[in-house]
Amino acid sequence: MESCTVSGYEVIVCEPAAQSSRVGVLLNDGEIAEKLSSMCEDVWLFGVVPRDRLNDYTPWPAAAMRKGAPDFGGGCESYTGHLTEGVLPLLSEKYGIGKWIYGGHSLGGLAAVYSLYCTDAFQAVFSVCGSFWYPGFLDFLSETRPVNTGAQVYLLNGAAEGAKHDNRLAKAPLFAAGAHDRIASAFLHTQAGFDPYGHHEHVTERLLNAVNWCKSQI
């Protein structure tokens, strides 16, 4: 495992046991790569450390969900551009990556799904506990034409997400179900479902399942 700076972003690189692998997994929230590295040894893992996740992973500005918290910046389109125009080409050349999987957890999953409407750079995209409660996101899915229509898409949310909240996060499973339906209608190759867990439970195992499904499809 090593860390490097690519196009202005810190990237954690986890080398597979099979160095001949040409599949790369780009992960939002860099530490996820470290957590998966010992369990996912047949693909390259690249964990991108955000500069500001409340900006990088959100599609447009929105007010914070709780008093005193910072607002959401809405910089995901710019962030996605940095990934596809800067990070991916350099990593592809340096490590010989021929196919890309992109995904994340929570807001990182939201950003990955948003990329489906911006770029066709990824062969597969996954979201674990994606923050589909984000204000305006269901309308966006209904009204926006997808770009990456050939992608394999994996969506997993937890039925117990939002159980301890009293704001719109309390309805996270309902928002997720709406997102799943809209995405599945737009993308032919979609695996979408729920497990019984909360937002922060069994995250590493859920991410591993997502990566393994995506690998099997490309």
Q: Which CATH architecture has domain 2-62+70-217?
A: 3-Layer(aba) Sandwich (3.40)
Using DSSP bridges, classify how beta strands 9-14 and 2-6 pair: parallel, antiparallel or unpaired. Answer: antiparallel
pTM of the full predicted structure? 0.97
pLDDT value of residue 131:
98
pLDDT above 70 coverage of the chain, percent: 100
Per the DSSP assignment, residues forming a β-bridge with 194 are 157
The answer, yes or no, to whether residue 165 has pLDDT greater than 90, is: no
The answer, yes or no, to whether residue 19 has pLDDT greater than 80, is: no
pLDDT value of residue 133:
98
At residue 116 the predicted structure's pLDDT band, cuts being 50, 70 and 90, is very high
Average pLDDT over residues 182-196: 97
pLDDT value of residue 66:
87
pLDDT value of residue 164:
83
Contact 103, 154 (CB under 8 A): yes
pLDDT value of residue 23:
96
pLDDT value of residue 213:
97
Domain assignments of the chain as residue spans, ordered by start: 2-62+70-217
The answer, yes or no, to whether residue 112 has pLDDT greater than 80, is: yes
The answer, yes or no, to whether residue 18 has pLDDT greater than 90, is: no
Long-range contacts, 162-169 (Cβ 8 Å, 24+) = 162/133, 162/199, 163/198, 167/65, 167/66, 168/65, 168/133, 168/135, 169/65, 169/133
Give the distance from CA 18 to its chain's centroid: 24
pLDDT value of residue 159:
97
Q: What does the alpha-carbon distance between residue 93 and residue 88 come to, in Å, rounded to a whole number?
A: 8
Q: What does the alpha-carbon distance between residue 161 and residue 165 come to, in Å, rounded to a whole number?
A: 9
pLDDT value of residue 121:
98
73-86 b/e with 16+ CB inside 10 Å = b? bbbbeebbebbbee
- Which parts of 9-134 are beta strand (E)? 9-14, 23-28, 44-48, 99-105, 124-128
Backbone angles phi, psi at 155, to 5 degrees: -125, 125
- pLDDT tens-place string over residues 23-81: 999 999 999 999 999 898 899 999 999 999 999 999 999 999 988 899 999 999 999 99
Contact 155, 183 (CB under 8 A): yes
More confidently predicted of 213 and 168: 213
Give the distance from CA 198 to its chain's centroid: 18
